[in-house]
Amino acid sequence: MVTKYPHKSWIVFVSTFPPRVCGIATFTRDLLTAFNQLFAPGVESKVVALNIDDLTRLPYSKKVIAQISQTCQGEYTAAAQKRNALPQVRLVTIQHEFGIFGRTYVD
């Protein structure tokens, strides 16, 4: 059987994600659902979930392909390099809110 979409494109969301309790997590879940309804089956949504620290690992759904400790700057770089190497990744969207990305912005 030949599938119509043998190499699905991915949209990857970098964000908090349920079960983490956070407004951005809920927004990302809803956005991911909308993208899936609009673009499936040719496009599949995936998540790189942000955790509070390096010890927290939540029971995420299969949509989560990686986890980052929001306080570990090197994990962002490593996750970006891994996603950049995947040919199916077509779009990365970063859901931002001050305080989530682990650093304080200073002018």
Per-residue pLDDT of the chain (107 residues; tens, 9 = 90+): 445 555 789 999 999 999 999 899 999 999 999 999 999 888 999 999 999 887 878 999 999 999 999 888 889 899 999 999 999 999 999 987 776 766 555 55
Assessment of whether the complete model's pTM goes beyond 0.75: yes
pLDDT, residue 1, reads 45
pLDDT, residue 52, reads 87
pLDDT, residue 57, reads 84
Rounded to whole angstroms, how far apart are CA atoms 26 and 72?
23
Question: Is the CB of residue 45 less than 8 Å from the CB of residue 28?
Answer: no
Rounded to whole angstroms, how far apart are CA atoms 11 and 92?
6
Q: CA torsion sign, 10 to 46 to 7 to 35?
A: negative
pLDDT, residue 38, reads 93
- Order of strands, edge to edge, in the sheet holding 43-51? 64-69, 43-51, 9-15, 89-94
Level-2 CATH architecture, domain 9-94: 3-Layer(aba) Sandwich (3.40)
